[in-house]
Structure 1
Amino acid sequence: MVQQRRSGGAMTVAEAGRMGGRLVREKYGPEFYERIGKKGGSSTAERYGPEFFGRIGRKGGKAVTAKYGPQHFEKIGRKGGQKVADLIERAKSLEEAEKVAPEVRRTGEPAA
């Protein structure tokens, strides 16, 4: 979606929205978005019930399956599983390093 500048240098609606979003982010920080997101989720759950999220999740899942095929979920599932396995392996390595040289890890220098 390409938007051309209007004559006179005025901003497009998209540019104005982006600029406003940046200013809000700078003023209030990421916690603000987290807070209003939680409020919105709570309000939606109150209004439509918690099963609403299940319905829209299934609807979104069907749309993704239609667009990318069922193998897409297999692929991202394997990717996520591999990431978890890598993190576990990294944690084990760090634990082993701590057992071997605890003083070096804490102080950054070998024990005297």
Structure 2
Amino acid sequence: MADKMSREEAGRKGGEETARTHDKEFYQEIGSKGGESRGDSDGKMSREEAGRKGGQN
């Protein structure tokens, strides 16, 4: 039976593969989408609001 890799090792390998196959613009697009998903118009959210949103499932 083959040895199973840890979650950490699998994540590292996946990240390395993604970095090898994608360019800077790929990561910039992901980053900008993350900022957009917050939903606030001015790009600012109080810590209290962020905590509430983070606690919602």
TM-score (norm 1): 0.35
Which segments of structure 1 move beyond 3 Å, counting only runs of 4 or more?
Answer: none
State the aligned residue count: 45
Root mean square deviation, CA, Å: 1.8
Task: Name which of 8, 15, 30 aligns with 1:21.
Answer: 15
User: Partners in 2 of 1:30 and 1:51 — Cα distance?
Assistant: 25
Q: Which structure shows the higher helix fraction? A: 1
Q: Structure 2: give runs of 5+ residues left out of the alignment.
A: 48-57
Q: Which has the larger radius of gyration?
A: 1
Task: Name which of 16, 25, 40 aligns with 2:34.
Answer: 40
User: Partners in 2 of 1:8 and 1:31 — Cα distance?
Assistant: 37
User: Partners in 1 of 2:10 and 2:37 — Cα distance?
Assistant: 28
Deviation at 1:42, TM superposition (A): 1.2
Q: Structure 1: give runs of 5+ residues left out of the alignment.
A: 1-6, 57-112
